[in-house]
Structure 1
Amino acid sequence: MSNIIKFAVLLVGALLFAMIVRVVVANASRPAHNTIETQKVQVSAADLPQGLLLRDDDLSWKVLPVADVPANAIVANTSHAQDLKGALLRHPVSNGAVLTADDVIMPSAPGFLAATLKPDMRAVSVAVDDVSGNAGLIQPGDYVDLLLTQQMERRTDSPDLAVSSETVVEHVRVLAVGSEIKRPKNNSGEMSDTGSRARTVTLEVTPRMGEVVAVAARLGSLSLALRSFATESRDPAALAAAASPAQRTPIWAGDISRAVRELPRTPQAHASVSAPAPVAARPVTIYRGSDKSDGAPTLAQAGPTADAAPPLPTVPAR
C-alpha cells in the first residue's frame, strides 16, 4: 500500500513539473505586451526659413513613438500622406522638427503664387525656348541669372562689337515654369514633358529688376543660367541682398573669337571738317574791243565762282 502511495505522489509531482515547464516556455515565446509602437513621420532636414519652397533635400523621415506624433503629421505609407515637395513654408522650422499640413501652403491652394512672393517683390514672366530655358531642366524653386545677348551689326561696323552678352539680373527665384508652380513628382530622373514644352518662366524680382527685365526683353534674346543650391545661407533676406546686379563689363564677340578679331576692318567714311583744298588758278583772257591781252587772275576770280564760270567767247577782229 505504501508503494502505491509513493507512485501516486511521484506521478503527481511529474505532472506538476511538466505543467510548470510548459508555462515557462509559453511565456518565453510570447511577445512582450509593453512593446512601443512607432511611426515614420516627415521632418525638416535642416533649419529652414519662412517662405521657402521645399525640395527633396529639405525633407527627411524620422521614426517616432505613436504617442509623440502630432496631429496632421505626414506619416509614411498612409493613403492621406501629402507630398510636401514644392510646398511653401509658412514659418521657420528647426532641424528635425516634425512637419504638419498646417506648416505649409500646398501649390494647389488658392493664391499660392501671391503667397509665394516675399514682401515688396513682384512676379515677371520671360519667354524662353528649349535652349534659353536650359532644356526644361529649370524647376520652380530654383535660382537663376538672366543673360541678355544682343546682335549689334546695325549699330556698329566693327566685327569685334558684332555680338554682346551681359548679365542683367542675378540670383532670382523661379516661381513657375509655364503654368506649373510646383516641382514635378517625376522621381525616375527623366525630364518631364511639361518642363520641356514650357515657353515662359516666371521669376521673383524687385520692382527695379522688373523694369530691367522688360527693357532687356526688347533689346535682344534672354537666357537663363541655373545657379547652384550650395549657398552659404538659405535665408531669403540674404539671398535678396545678393540678387542685385553686379557692375560687370559686357562680353563682346571680339573677346571670345580670335577669328572675329582678325577680320579686316571696314573703312568708315568720315565728314571732313577741314577747309577745302585751294583751286588752281587758270589764265584769264581779257578782250577790249578788238584788242586781246592776257592777265593774271584776281583773288575773286581764283575762287570757286570764277573757276566754275565758262570762258568768254572769242570776238572776231574787224
Structure 2
Amino acid sequence: MSNLIKFGLLFVSAILIALIVRIVVAGISRPATSVPSTEQVRVSAADLPQGLLLRDEDVAWKQMPITDIPPNAVIRGDSNAVELKGALLRRPIAKGTVLVADDVMLPSAPGFLAATLKPEMRAVSVAVDDVSGNAGLIQPGDYVDLLLTQQMDRRTDSPDFAVSSETVVEHVRVLAVGSEIKRPKSGETPDASNRARTVTLEVTPRMGEVVSVAAHLGSLSLALRSFATATRNPSASMQPVSPPSPVWAGDISSAVRELPRSHGPQLASAGPRSTSPPTVTIYRGSERNDALSSGAPSTGAAGNNVPPVPSLPVPH
C-alpha cells in the first residue's frame, strides 16, 4: 500500500473521530429537559351555589403556574385527582375559582344522599318504566316535572273525559336514579339491561304527600326540564305555583269529541215511569171488579164498594 493511500485513510479516520467527539460533547453540554412550569386545573365555569350536584358544564380547565396552584387542586392527568362530576358542592363558588377536594362531597361518601337535601326538604321515590322514565336518560342532578295520567272511563260515561293528564309537581331535582346517585361519565351510555325502576326526587313535605296520592290514582311520568333557567340556585325552584289545569281526552282528540254519547239505560230513555199502582182484577161469581194492589177498595160498575176477597176455607 502506498503512502498516499495510508495518508487518505488516516485523514478520513480523523474526520470521523472529530465528528463523534463533537456529538458526544454536545450531548453532555445540552441542558436537561425542563419541567413544565404550568398545569391545567379544574375551575368553576360559572357562579355555583351551595348544594349543587356538579355536571360537566359547571367546571372547566384552566392553565395555571405551578406555584399558584393550591393544595388538593384537581390537576389534569393526575391519577389521584377526584372526579367532580356528580359531586355535591359544599359551599358557594365564584366563577373561575380553583376547585379543590375539600370543596365537594363525593357520591361514595357516607350520608351523601342526606347531605344533598336542603333544609326542610324530603326525598321521595317514584316507580318508573322505560317510557315514563325517559328511557333511562334522566340522571341525578336533572330537574323534572311529574305528570299524572288517569283512566276515567270507569268514573264517567263521557268520551271527552275518558282520560286525563295533569302536572302535579313542577321543577323538582332528581337525587338518584335507582341506586345510582352520580351522573355517568362523559360518553358513557347507560346499560339498557339494567334500567332503573325508581327515581328519587327532592320535594317539600307537601309535595311528598301529593306524589304519594298521585301514585295510587294513575300512572306517573317524568318530564325533563331544561338547564337553561334564570338561576342555578336549587332553592329558587321550590317557590309555590298555581297548579295548571288538567288536559282531557276531548281537549286533544277531535275523534273523541265526535263519539256518540251514551243514552243511558233503556228505562230511563223511555220517559218518566207512571207512579200509579197496578190494579188487581177480582172475580166474584159473574162479577168482575178492579182493585188497587195496595189493598185500597175500588168501585164496581154500580159504584158500590167491593169487599176484599174472602179467604178460602182450609180443608180438614
| Number of equivalences | 274
TM-score (ref. length: structure 2)? 0.76
Is 1:62 matched up with 2:62?
Answer: yes
Structure 1 stretches of 4+ with a deviation exceeding 3 A read 29-36, 269-287, 301-313
Alignment of 1:197-276 (within 5 A): 197-241=195-239, 244-269=240-265, 276=274
Shift of 1:228: 0.2
Measure, in 1, the Cα distance between the counterparts of 2:96 and 2:103. 14
Alignment of 1:1-318 (within 5 A): 37-185=37-185, 187-188=186-187, 191-193=189-191, 197-241=195-239, 244-269=240-265, 276-277=274-275, 305=295
Q: 1:312 to 1:93 in 2, by over 3 A?
A: same
Q: 1:42 to 1:284 in 2, by over 3 A?
A: closer
Asked whether the equivalents of residues 177 and 198 of structure 2 are also in contact (C-alpha less than 8 Å), the reply is yes
Asked whether the equivalents of residues 278 and 293 of structure 2 are also in contact (C-alpha less than 8 Å), the reply is no
Q: 1:51 to 1:286 in 2, by over 3 A?
A: same
Measure, in 2, the Cα distance between the counterparts of 1:69 and 1:60. 15
RMSD: 3.8
Asked whether the equivalents of residues 73 and 101 of structure 2 are also in contact (C-alpha less than 8 Å), the reply is yes
The one-letter amino acid paired with 2:206 is R
Structure 1, residues 232-253: CA drift from partner, whole Å, max 9, x if none?
0011221222xx3532211111
Gaps of 5+ in 1: 1-25, 314-318
The one-letter amino acid paired with 1:262 is E
Larger mean CA deviation between 145-154 and 231-240 belongs to 231-240
Gaps of 5+ in 2: 1-25, 301-305, 309-316
Tell me, what secondary structure is at the counterpart of 2:141? coil
Structure 1, residues 258-302: CA drift from partner, whole Å, max 9, x if none?
111111111124699989455799999999xx9x8x99x9xxx67
Query: Identity across aligned pairs (percent)?
Result: 65
Q: 1:70 to 1:252 in 2, by over 3 A?
A: same
The one-letter amino acid paired with 2:42 is Q
Asked whether the equivalents of residues 167 and 243 of structure 2 are also in contact (C-alpha less than 8 Å), the reply is no
Shift of 1:79: 1.1
The one-letter amino acid paired with 1:98 is V
Task: Give the equivalent residue in structure 2 for 1:14.
Answer: none
Q: 1:282 to 1:53 in 2, by over 3 A?
A: closer
Measure, in 1, the Cα distance between the counterparts of 2:255 and 2:54. 47
Tell me, what secondary structure is at the counterpart of 1:204? strand
Q: 1:280 to 1:35 in 2, by over 3 A?
A: closer
Asked whether the equivalents of residues 178 and 201 of structure 1 are also in contact (C-alpha less than 8 Å), the reply is yes
Asked whether the equivalents of residues 39 and 66 of structure 1 are also in contact (C-alpha less than 8 Å), the reply is yes
The one-letter amino acid paired with 1:92 is P
Asked whether the equivalents of residues 280 and 293 of structure 2 are also in contact (C-alpha less than 8 Å), the reply is no
The one-letter amino acid paired with 1:201 is V
